[in-house]
Amino acid sequence: MSALLEVRNLRVEFPTRRGTLCALDDVSFSIQAGEVLGVVGESGAGKSLTGASIIGLLEPPGRIAAGEILLAGRRIDNLPDEQMRRVRGREIGAVFQDPLTSLNPLYTVGRQLAETIVTHLDMSWSQARNRAVELLAETGIPAARERIDHYPHQFSGGMRQRVVIALALAAEPKLVVADEPTTALDVSIQAQIIELLKRLCRENGTAVMLITHDMGVIAETADRVAVMYAGRVAEIGPVADVIHKPRHPYTAGLMGSIPSLDGHAERLVQIDGSMPRLNAIPPGCAFNPRCGRRLPRCTQDRPELLPAGTSMAACWLHEAEAAAPRAPSGPATPQEGLPGGKGSEESA
Ligand SMILES: Nc1ncnc2c1ncn2[C@@H]1O[C@H](COP(=O)(O)OP(=O)(O)OP(=O)(O)O)[C@@H](O)[C@H]1O
Ligand code: SF4
Ligand SMILES: [Mg+2]
């Protein structure tokens, strides 16, 4: 089975007067139909750029310099703007941190919803309006039939984000990219919004790429999680394994524990230091200056994602494991049990 979304060796660059900054370097992962992939990592790790590349909203001068992005087997990273706009409405929905970036202040929410529906689905204007009322009701907006004629500023922040979720799902996309969808909202309603996104996507079989700083949200919501560091994927795997048996020392630090090859984690203090700037990424493993388990080669050779238990980790500690034949009683083949099945692109 091929993945719904495949990101292959994605490289994003920013040309500057002092040379080219490489913000995403060789990022590869996939999302299966209906799956929720969480994406975590500290500020500047490249989470939003990855999302923006997928939905075709990378802001110049940022540009995709290498790699490809496929949706249902079709390349979407090189489409003309007009075609990409159609993909964005119809096949990929987007939810951003600030609901106001997705809503036009000059139009009622009903008009915006109905417009999206008639543009992408085979419906008349009056059918679309009825569907818009349904969508608002499904997203938990009380008195949807009246509220549909209100303008975005007449809604509270949380209600506005519900409208944005309704808008993102209006054309029944296969994938929703949600970038910190609750960060701008009141803490008391964050969980409700995540719960709503999760429920609606599950009901519709929509896959989600959920970018968040909140490991609690990931633990509750995601099937798999990708941990990003300095523009690369450091680790990717089933959410329970990444949380409880982190295989990359950076992930282990994030989870407050030390990894060991047998998968047992011990408690640990925080990670010293900070993530490098784009113009100062060290050679070898980008994490090496902060890594307590650094090997000699870590300062010279950059590790690719290697099989590590049920996950993949870009860390030389797993080289021996990756090369060794697997014992019959040992852990499953890396990709087994993952939605991608074995031989997905992460092992490439
Ligand atoms: N227009 C730009 N010019 C130069 N560098 C940029 C530009 N936009 C983003 N970057 C850099 O790209 C890197 C990745 O940024 P990105 O926004 O993807 O991070 P993020 O993981 O989403 O962080 P956050 O958690 O703060 O949202 C950062 O180092 C950022 O400074
Ligand atoms: S590759 Fe080396 S420096 Fe990087 S995380 Fe693994 S052990 Fe640490
Ligand atoms: Mg971001």
pLDDT tens per residue, range 133-145: 999 999 999 999 9
Residue 86 within any structural domain of the chain:
yes
Q: Copy the structure tokens of residue 150.
A: 């209100």
d(CA 348, CA 341): 13
The Cα-based distances of 337 to 188, 202, 218 in angstroms read 35, 20, 19
Q: What is the pTM of this model?
A: 0.89
Residue 107 within any structural domain of the chain:
no
Give the 3-state secondary structure of residue 156. coil
- Domain of residue 306: give its range: 1-91+173-323+341-348
Ligand 1 centre from 326 Cα, in Å? 39
Residue 306 within any structural domain of the chain:
yes
Residue 334 pLDDT level (bands cut at 50, 70, 90): very low
Pocket test for ligand 1, best of 213, 278, 279 (most atoms within 8 A of CB): 278
Q: Are 116 and 144 in contact (CB under 8 A)?
A: no
From the list 199, 143, 213, 149, the residue with the least C-alpha distance to 169 is 199
Residue 344 pLDDT level (bands cut at 50, 70, 90): very low
Cα dihedral sign, 252-256-260-262: negative
Domains identified in the chain, total number: 1
Q: Are 224 and 38 in contact (CB under 8 A)?
A: yes
pLDDT value at residue 254: 87
Name the residue with the closest Cα to ligand 1, atom 24: 43
Nearest ligand for residue 227 CA = 1
Q: Are 237 and 309 in contact (CB under 8 A)?
A: yes
Q: Are 262 and 245 in contact (CB under 8 A)?
A: no
Q: Is 21 a pocket residue for ligand 1 (Cβ < 6 Å)?
A: yes
CATH number at residue 345: 3.40.50.300
pLDDT value at residue 264: 54
Residue 119 within any structural domain of the chain:
no
- Residue 326 in this model has a pLDDT that exceeds 90: no
Q: Is 227 a pocket residue for ligand 1 (Cβ < 6 Å)?
A: no
Residue 188 within any structural domain of the chain:
yes
Residue 114 within any structural domain of the chain:
no
pLDDT (tens digit, 9 = 90+) per residue, 300-311? 999 999 999 999
Residue 214 pLDDT level (bands cut at 50, 70, 90): confident
pLDDT (tens digit, 9 = 90+) per residue, 156-202? 999 999 999 999 999 999 999 999 999 989 888 999 999 999 999 99
- Residue 13 in this model has a pLDDT that exceeds 80: yes
Nearest ligand for residue 250 CA = 2
